[in-house]
C-alpha cells in the first residue's frame, strides 16, 4: 500500500503505526486479562512523550472506559470491548484508522454505540477505512463506498448515492 505516493507495504508494524495508521481487527482486539488502563498503555508505546495527555483525552472522550479503567477488559461487553479497541488505536493519534467488521457479533445497542464512536472519530478529522457487514449503516456516513460481489468491486460511489441506487438496494441491501 502507498501513503502520499510512498510504498509502505513491507514496513514493520511499529513503523506503520508511526506513519499514522491505526488498525482495529475484527476479533481478539483487546487483551482480556489486562485492565482497560493496561490495554490503553500497550497501545501508547509508540507515543511515550505525549502518553499521559493522550490517555486523559481518551478517557474524556470515552466515559465508559474512564469509569471502569481498573476493570479487566474480559469483563466488558462486546460493544465496550470494541470501544476499548477503538480507543487503543486512537492513543497513537492516527490520521487513518482501518476497521475490520467493528459491528460483528454485537447487539443492536452496542452497534449504535460503536457506529456513533466511529462517526465522532471521523468528524474529528481521522479518515476511516471500514470493512463492514452492516452496509446500510456504514454507507449512511461514508464519503465513499465500495460494494463488493464475490471479491470484486461491483459498485462504487458516495455513500448516499449507493444507498439510493435501486440496483444496489435490490441486490445487496434489501428494503431500506
> How far apart are the C-alpha atoms of 43 and 63, rounded to whole Å?
18
pLDDT tens, residue by residue, 106-116: 999 999 999 99
Strands of the chain, DSSP E: 2-3, 6-7, 21-24, 96-100, 127-131, 145-149, 152-157
- For the stretch 123-129, contacts whose Cβ atoms lie closer than 8 Å and that sit 24 or more positions apart, written own/partner, are 126/22, 126/90, 126/94, 126/95, 126/96, 126/97, 127/95, 127/96, 127/97, 128/96, 128/97, 128/99, 129/96, 129/97, 129/98, 129/99
Residue 107 and residue 29 share a domain: yes
Kindly state whether residues 126 and 162 are assigned to the same domain: no
- Looking up cell 466515559 gives 63
Domain CATH number, residue 124: 3.40.50.300
Helix/strand/coil for 47: coil
* pTM recorded for the entire structure: 0.85
In a domain, 6, yes or no: no
Does residue 1 fall inside a structural domain? no
Segments in 78-171 forming alpha helices (H) = 78-90, 108-123, 135-139, 159-164, 166-168
- Helix, strand, or coil (residue 91): coil
pLDDT tens digits, residue range 100-143? 999 998 999 999 999 999 999 999 999 999 999 899 999 998 99
CA 132, CA 129: separation in Å to the nearest integer? 10
SS3 77: coil
Query: Do 31 and 42 have their domain in common?
Result: yes
Query: What confidence category does residue 4 fall into, taking pLDDT thresholds of 50, 70 and 90?
Result: confident
pLDDT digits (tens, 9 = 90+) for 160-176: 999 999 999 988 887 65
- The answer on 42 and 26 residing in a single domain is yes
- 76-91 average pLDDT score: 93
Domain count, the chain: 2
C-alpha cell at 30: 483487546
Residue 155 to residue 7: CA distance in whole angstroms: 27
Please give the residue range of the domain that contains residue 27: 12-133
| Residue 48 resides in a domain | yes
Give yes or no: residues 119 and 155 share one domain: no
Both 143 and 125 in a single domain? Answer: no
Asked if 163 and 173 sit in the same domain, the reply is yes
- Do 32 and 97 belong to one domain? yes
Amino acid at each position: 500500500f502507498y501513503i502520499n505516493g510512498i510504498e509502505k507495504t513491507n514496513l514493520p508494524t511499529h513503523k506503520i503505526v508511526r506513519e499514522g495508521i491505526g488498525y482495529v481487527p475484527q476479533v481478539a482486539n483487546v487483551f482480556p486479562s489486562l485492565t482497560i488502563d493496561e490495554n490503553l498503555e500497550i497501545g501508547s508505546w509508540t507515543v511515550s512523550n505525549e502518553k499521559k495527555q493522550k490517555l486523559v483525552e481518551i478517557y474524556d472522550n470515552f466515559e465508559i472506559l474512564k469509569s471502569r479503567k481498573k476493570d479487566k477488559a474480559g469483563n466488558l461487553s462486546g460493544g465496550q470491548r470494541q470501544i476499548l479497541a477503538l480507543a487503543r488505536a486512537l492513543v497513537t493519534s492516527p490520521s487513518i484508522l482501518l476497521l475490520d467488521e467493528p459491528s460483528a457479533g454485537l447487539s443492536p445497542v452496542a452497534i449504535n454505540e460503536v457506529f456513533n464512536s466511529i462517526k465522532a472519530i471521523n468528524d474529528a478529522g481521522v479518515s476511516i477505512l471500514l470493512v463492514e457487514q452492516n452496509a446500510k449503516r456504514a454507507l449512511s456516513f461514508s464519503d465513499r463506498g465500495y460494494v463488493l460481489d464475490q471479491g470484486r468491486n461491483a459498485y462504487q460511489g458516495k455513500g448516499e448515492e449507493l444507498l439510493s441506487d435501486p440496483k444496489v438496494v435490490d441486490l445487496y441491501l434489501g428494503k431500506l
